Amino acid sequence: MDEKEREAWYQFHHRKYGIPSDHLRREFEAELSGQNPVDAPLEVPDKMEILFKYSYGQQSRFFRELRENKAIYGARCNECGKVYCPPRSHCNDCYQPTEWVRLEGTGVIRACTVQHYTTSAFIKKLPFICAYVQLDGTDFLLMTNMEVEDVRKIAVGTRVKAVFREERHGSITDFYFKPIE
């Protein structure tokens, strides 16, 4: 194919399937330039859309409680008494199944950092805080975002509480932490 024919081919497949033109040019340049042996498999562009759902498995209740009841749940091991949040279905140490316990949603920052650089997805939020929060009544740390007017108010040892968003999706971002004034 000459250049004009190749361009028409790219445009046709771009219009027909919505495949980006630069993708077509990259993937099919060798074929359309006649570089592939005549007996080589002939590849053609196509597009596949997949609708699917996935499961949170044994952590499901944690996310459902966030969405339905604005509640944070941990998972307690009845063997050693440790409480996990994020929850685990079985204790890391005892391998025993855990049971759900409702938490107050208050806690303390055990480690934190101020983000001044990020990818484009979060750039409007700069500067923001990434923190490890130990919720009251738990033995583990939850990595989370803080939402504060003044990032200088956040330090290791700061007491915080969970605030739930009006619109919740059953996601870890259904809540955030802010300092207890």
Smallest gap from Cβ 90 to Zn ion, in A, equals: 9
For Zn ion, the closer CB: 138 or 158: 138
Rounded distance between C-alpha atoms, residue 94 and residue 139, angstroms: 15
Smallest gap from Cβ 98 to Zn ion, in A, equals: 8
Spatial neighbors of 27 by CB under 8 A, at least 6 apart, are 43, 45
Among 72, 75, 77, 160, indicate the residue that binds Zn ion (CB under 5 A). Answer: 77
Smallest gap from Cβ 97 to Zn ion, in A, equals: 10
For Zn ion, the closer CB: 94 or 148: 94
DSSP state of 38: T
Stretch that binds Zn ion, among 18-26, 57-65, 87-95, 102-110 (CB under 5 A): 87-95
Stretch that binds Zn ion, among 18-26, 88-96, 108-116, 135-143 (CB under 5 A): 88-96
Q: Using the rule CB under 5 A, is 80 a contact of Zn ion? A: yes
| Tokens 């130990």 -> residue | 134
Rounded distance between C-alpha atoms, residue 53 and residue 50, angstroms: 10
Rounded distance between C-alpha atoms, residue 100 and residue 22, angstroms: 51
Stretch that binds Zn ion, among 7-15, 20-28, 69-77, 124-132 (CB under 5 A): 69-77
Residue 15 one-letter amino acid = R
CB 87 within 8 A of CB 74: yes
| Nearest of 128, 143, 69 to residue 103 by alpha carbon | 69
Q: Using the rule CB under 5 A, is 79 a contact of Zn ion? A: yes
How many positions of this chain bind Zn ion (CB under 5 A)? 6
Q: Using the rule CB under 5 A, is 91 a contact of Zn ion? A: yes
Strands (E), 36-167: 72-77, 83-84, 98-103, 106-115, 128-135, 142-146, 159-164
Q: Using the rule CB under 5 A, is 94 a contact of Zn ion? A: yes
Gyration radius of the chain's alpha carbons: 26
H helices of 33-100, where?
60-69
Smallest gap from Cβ 82 to Zn ion, in A, equals: 5
Q: Using the rule CB under 5 A, is 72 a contact of Zn ion? A: no
Binding site for Zn ion (CB under 5 A): 77, 79-80, 91, 93-94
